[in-house]
């Protein structure tokens, strides 16, 4: 990409020319700007950014997840070849998965798979119908990350489903990182993957992880060796960004965070049991006692 | 649902019996616990919670978005009949939409539509293929909320696409609330819906809203009369929760926030231009100058 004229409203860019060229090419690839630049005719053919796959409207055929270019010379920490397997099952909670998914697909070079038993669309518990990108049998045998989202009844059914539970146990046994958000950790537990590990879950099921041999921990993201588990639903954003930071570096994670404008400002502040009205948290917990019992029963499923 | 035995680890529930029964039934319906309770055989037929539609695995056929029960006597603020229209177009940014979607579907009684030109699946800019639930021509004429997600090249194409832009302008002219997250406000602007309004956008395009007659405001969520716009991508969570709070009440929003465990704790703190390394924000802005020029050119599309 040709240097753009400095805007009078922007600070002067203090990066050395080489560093700037590298960052520009890298971020352009990651964030899809190269395609837009090409559309506008501002990219030269000899510019590395011009060789990177495109996003934007091109994304409709060539999504960011496919970004990979072996011809580029990337400094350490700025590109990878991760194989990330994100599990889909009927009734999973959409946001559990789409939060970290947004962070993962911005890791240049990573391949992000949405894996299900078949390639048929999967209906989430909030009515979004999502198409898998890969079937279990075609999934990488030893993924970099195995990720399991949560849900309620759908998660119980997935844990009881032999094909799904065994897929999780199998890939989890060889994955570099075995991960979950929300009650996804219940499914990890039912698959035998949390025995002897510290872990977390949605606050309603967190203590029940002990049924699967885990030590429940009340933290937003819990890391114990290669097990990385997040708390309820929205923890997936913090979880995803933490993984970007660990798999790449602080600078890369900062660029992803800024591009996602992840500077949360909730209009109210009752997002944890510690902060919430005990009337509401108590009722939610009591209401879910039947669900909690069904989670306990899962320990006999294997 | 029968009263559950008090757990020794929970605080005693101080709510009066009537209030408790109401909250239990309400939250059970909203959050899908009633289906699980029925599975466990703990719900009596005369219990209002038992009459509510189910979620959980049932969600695979009967998602939460369909929750609605005219036979219930709900206190003011706890149920509504909102018709929420969320726009899908090729290359939209998935998380822009799925964040607020998670909040909207928990508003009992609300109908949440995923609207596109046709019912064919739509590929987002991060490779998630999503199926619309309704085509433009079948959409409510005067929705409670019209919501437009952002993107990059896909958003430009949507703004230039007559059918999409005119749909936005048409429903926007009669919607109770005209809303967006991220560069969705660019599409609102191109449809003529922000002229004379304060609004925000992704930080890279925020100042350009002036091209469409809007006054750009650097806030996470900007409310000007019935225009409600969010900043980049992840602002959708704050935006969605704010709308739940306004359309229902503080208590309802608190329950939704706690159930989504929305207590954000990003591992790094560079999620806004004010907080970010100026080298990274400056480069991202410079790189997007071609995109910004194409956004400016949209003012002539109408």
Gap from A134 CA to chain B (nearest CA, Å)? 12
> What pLDDT was estimated at residue A130?
95
- pTM for the full model? 0.82
- Among candidates A56, A157, A260 on the partner chain, residue whose Cβ is nearest the Cβ of B153: A56
Mean pLDDT of B215-222: 98
pLDDT tens string for chain A (302 positions)?
Answer: 333 333 333 333 334 445 555 555 555 555 543 333 333 333 333 333 333 333 333 333 333 322 334 444 456 666 788 999 999 999 999 999 999 999 999 898 899 999 999 999 999 998 899 999 999 999 999 999 999 999 999 999 999 999 999 999 999 999 999 999 999 999 999 999 999 999 999 999 999 999 999 999 999 999 999 999 999 999 999 999 999 999 988 988 999 999 999 999 999 999 999 999 998 898 888 888 899 999 999 988 87
Domains detected in chain B = 79-262 (3.40.50.880)
Do B33 and A152 make contact, defined as CB atoms within 8 angstroms? yes
* C-alpha triplet B70, B72, B78: angle, nearest 5°: 95
Instruction: Tell me which chain B residue has its CA closest to the CA of residue A42.
Output: B290
Contact residues, chain A, for B7 at CB < 8 Å: 285-286, 289
Nearest to A198 by CA among A171, A172, A170, A226: A226
Which residues on chain B are in Cβ contact (under 8 Å) with A273? Answer: 258
Task: Give the closest-approach CA distance of B1 to chain A in angstroms.
Answer: 8
Residues in B closer than 8 angstroms to A254, CB to CB, are 268, 270, 276-277, 280
Tell me the β-bridge partners of B178: B146, B227
Q: Per the residue annotation, which of A30, A122, A182, A247 is the catalytic one? A: A182
Q: Is the pLDDT of residue B31 over 70?
A: no
**Positions of B marked active-site:** 182
Smallest Cα distance from B214 to chain A, Å = 19
Q: Cα-flanking dihedrals φ and ψ of residue B216, to 5°?
A: -65, 140
Chain A neighbors of B266, CB-CB under 8 A: 237-238, 241, 257, 262-264
The rounded mean pLDDT for chain B is 81
A199: β partners: A216
Choose the closest CB to A261 out of B11, B15, B203: B203
Complex ipTM, two decimals? Answer: 0.82
Residue B9 burial by CB count (10 A; 0-12/13-18/19+): exposed, middle or buried?
A: exposed
Angstrom distance (rounded) from CA B65 to CA A259? 30
Q: Can you tell me the mean pLDDT for B144-164? A: 97
Other C-beta atoms closer than 10 Å to the C-beta of B176 total 13
Q: In B, which residues are within 8 Å of A260 by CB distance? A: 95, 232-234, 271
Residue pairs between chains A and B whose CB atoms are closer than 8 Å: 418
């Amino acid at each position: 990409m040709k240097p753009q004229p400095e805007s009078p409203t922007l600070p002067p860019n203090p990066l050395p020319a080489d560093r700037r060229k590298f960052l520009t090419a890298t971020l352009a690839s990651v964030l899809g700007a190269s395609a837009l630049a090409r559309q506008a005719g501002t990219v030269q053919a000899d510019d590395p950014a011009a060789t990177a796959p495109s996003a934007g409207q091109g994304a409709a055929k060539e999504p960011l997840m496919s970004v990979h270019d072996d011809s580029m010379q990337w400094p350490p920490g700025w590109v990878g070849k991760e194989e990330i397997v994100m599990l889909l099952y009927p009734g999973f909670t959409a946001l559990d998965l789409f939060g970290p998914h947004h962070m993962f697909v911005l890791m240049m070079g990573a391949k992000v798979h949405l894996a299900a038993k078949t390639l048929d669309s999967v209906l989430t518990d909030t009515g979004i119908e999502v198409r898998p990108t890969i079937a279990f049998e075609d999934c990488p045998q030893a993924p970099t990350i195995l990720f399991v989202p949560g849900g309620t009844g759908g998660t119980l059914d997935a844990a009881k489903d032999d094909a799904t539970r065994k897929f999780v146990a199998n890939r989890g046994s060889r994955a570099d990182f075995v991960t979950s958000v929300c009650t996804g950790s219940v499914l990890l537990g039912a698959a035998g993957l949390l025995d002897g590990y510290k872990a977390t879950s949605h606050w309603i099921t967190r203590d029940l992880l002990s049924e699967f041999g885990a030590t429940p921990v009340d933290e937003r993201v819990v890391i114990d060796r290669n097990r990385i588990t997040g708390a309820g639903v929205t923890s997936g954003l913090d979880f995803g960004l933490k993984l970007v930071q660990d798999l790449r570096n602080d600078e890369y994670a900062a660029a992803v965070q800024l591009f996602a404008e992840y500077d949360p400002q909730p209009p109210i502040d009752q997002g944890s049991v510690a902060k919430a009205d005990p009337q509401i948290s108590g009722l939610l917990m009591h209401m879910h006692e039947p669900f909690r019992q069904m989670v306990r029963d899962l320990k006999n499923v294997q």
